[in-house]
Amino acid sequence: MLVHSRTGKWAAWAVFFVLFVPLFAVPLLVILAASFTTNWSGAFPSGPTTEHYAAATGGDSLQALTTSLITAVSASLLALTVGSWAALAATSLRRRGRRFLDALFMLPVAVPSVVVGLAVLVAFSKPPMLLNGTRWIVILAHTILVTAFAYSSVSAAIVRLDPMYEQAAASLGARPSYVLWRIKLPLLLPALTAAAGLCFALSMGELSATMMLYPPDWTPLPVQIFAATDRGSLFTGAAVAVVLMGTTLLVLLGVARIRTRASYR
């Protein structure tokens, strides 16, 4: 299209791969390779082993995996509920109300995660809302952080949703609640699942706020990875990181499958 000569094309591709491969592909491959290695201080890793995975899938790390999964699933579901509710409510508001809700629900993106963690810590460390030291404070912080993403993806989908479906349904005698349940939500299902996947992935990788809040008995995977690398067990850290990436990918794939089944056109 832009470059027509054969050499020009090859040059463009060469530039692309020289930049792309080392910057984006190599890091992930290195982590994967390192997770199977005993030692790596040369061109190639040495000593293939699976012992890091024994460590990464048992004991503390297994505990961390379930912790992360429970946190991510609960935070995603909560965020999806609040975010979609707000997005749906926003559509029936006037322009100014809609802008207000937009600004309000996108605010958590603008506030640094560490500060969200600090704020939650400050607010929920004393009665009557004493959550500090429990798992709930972690789940709460994750929910706050991912709600913005749920809100924005659902409201983007609502904007794209053609009002003619709602109107056709209303003209056929469907009450607003019936329209919501039978027409709007089913048509928004692809967007809802996509938002759920996004929230899940973000929560799985959340470190900043978690570092401020996690109680000793509720350490999610990112904290576990940090703990491992901090005490010098880089290879174990890599194995746990692979577990984190693999779990995230698996869930995203599952969500994508649901999504293709739920999209109709």
Partner 1 sequence: MTGGATGGIRFDQVSVAYGGNTVLDRLDLTVEPGEVMALLGPSGSGKTTALRAVAGFVQPASGRVYLGDRDVTGLPPHKRGIGMVVQQYALFPHMRVHDNVAFGLKARKAAKAEIPERVAEALELVGMAAYAERYPRELSGGQQQRVAIARALAIRPGVLLLDEPLSALDARLRSGMLAELARLHRELPDVSILYVTHDQVEALTLADRIAVMDKARLQDCGTPQELYRRPRTEFTASFVGNANLLPVTVADGADTVDFAGRALDVPTGEAAGGATATLCVRPHLVGLGDGPNALSGTIAEVQWRGSTHRLYVDVDGHRVKADLRELRETPALGDTVTLHFAAEDAVLLPAGTAPGTGGGAHA
Partner 2 sequence: MPSAPTADVRPGPSGSRSVLERRTGSIDGPRKPVEGPDRGAGDRRIPRFVWALPPVAVLALVFLYPLALVVQQSVSPDEGGTSLAPYGDVFASESFRSALTTTVWLAVGSTAGCLVLGFVLAMVIAFVPFPGGRAVARFIDVFLSFPSFLITLALLFIYGNAGMANGLWTDATGASSGPFDFLTTPWGVLLAEVTYFTPFVMRPLLAAFSQLDTAQLEVASSLGAGPARIVRQVILPDALPALAAGGSLVLVMCLNEFGIVLFTGAKGVTTLPMLVYSKAILESDYPAACVVAVVNIAISVGLYSLYRMVSRRVGA
Of residues 172 through 211, those in contact with partner 1 by CB under 8 A are 172-176, 178-179, 182-183, 186-187, 189
Q: Reduced to 3 states, what is the DSSP secondary structure of residue 39? A: strand
Closest contact distance (angstroms) between CB of 263 and partner 2 is 17
- Based on CB atoms, which residue is closest to partner 2, 187 or 220? 220
Q: Number of residues in contact with partner 2, rule: CB under 8 A?
A: 86
If binding is defined by CB under 8 A, does position 264 make contact with partner 1?
Answer: yes
Closest contact distance (angstroms) between CB of 249 and partner 2 is 7
Helix axes 135-160, 59-91, angle to 10 degrees: 40
Alpha helices of 35-94 — where are they, by DSSP H? 51-56, 59-91
Longest dimension (CA), the chain: 72
**What track of x and - describes contact with partner 2 for positions 148 through 187 (by CB under 8 A)?**
----------------------------------------
Q: State which of residues 190, 192, 222, 239 lies at the interface with partner 2 (CB under 8 A).
A: 222
Closest contact distance (angstroms) between CB of 39 and partner 2 is 9
Q: Are 192 and 154 in contact (CB under 8 A)?
A: yes
What are the structure tokens assigned to 183, written together?
A: 């027409």
- Based on CB atoms, which residue is closest to partner 2, 185 or 249? 249
Q: Which residues contact 117 (CB under 8 A, 6 or more apart)?
A: 141, 208, 209, 210, 211, 212, 213
Q: State which of residues 226, 258, 259, 262 lies at the interface with partner 2 (CB under 8 A).
A: 226
- The item of partner 2, partner 1, none sharing an interface with residue 173, based on CB under 5 to 8 Å by kind, is partner 1
Cis peptide before 128 (omega within 30 of 0): yes
**Torsion sign across C-alpha atoms 81, 217, 251, 156:** positive
- The item of partner 1, partner 2, none sharing an interface with residue 238, based on CB under 5 to 8 Å by kind, is partner 2
Give residue 17's Cα distance to chain centre: 28
Residues found near partner 1 in the complex (CB under 8 A): 162, 164-165, 167-176, 178-179, 182-183, 186-187, 189, 262, 264-265
